[in-house]
Amino acid sequence: MNLHLDQEEWSALHHAEEALATAAVCLMSGHHDCPTVITVNADKLENCLMSLTLSIQSLQKHAMLEKA
C-alpha cells in the first residue's frame, strides 16, 4: 500500500492507531479483574473512542479537501 499523506494526516492516523491499541488493551485486561464478569474502565475506553473519532474526522476532512 502506497499512502501519500501529509504530516497532519500521519499524525491523525498515528493517534487513531494508539486509540485502537489502548482500547484493545482496556477490553482485553477486563477479564483479569473479575474472571466471571468482564469489567472495563469506562472512562479510559470513552477517551480512546473519542480520540479515535477525532482522528477519523481529521482524516475525513483531509480526504474531502483533496477531492475539492
36-47-51 Cα angle (round to 5): 130
pLDDT at 62: 80
**Other CB atoms within 10 Å distance of the CB of residue 48:** 21
**Other CB atoms within 10 Å distance of the CB of residue 19:** 20
Domain boundaries, the chain: 7-67
CB 51 within 8 A of CB 19: yes
Helix (H, G, I), strand (E, B) or coil at 35: coil
Whether the per-residue pLDDT at 31 is higher than 60: the answer is no
Q: pTM for the full model?
A: 0.61
pLDDT digits (tens, 9 = 90+) for 32-66: 555 555 667 788 888 888 988 988 898 888 888 77
CB 3 within 8 A of CB 59: no
pLDDT digits (tens, 9 = 90+) for 18-27: 888 887 777 7
Q: How confident is the model at residue 5 (pLDDT cuts 50, 70, 90)?
A: confident
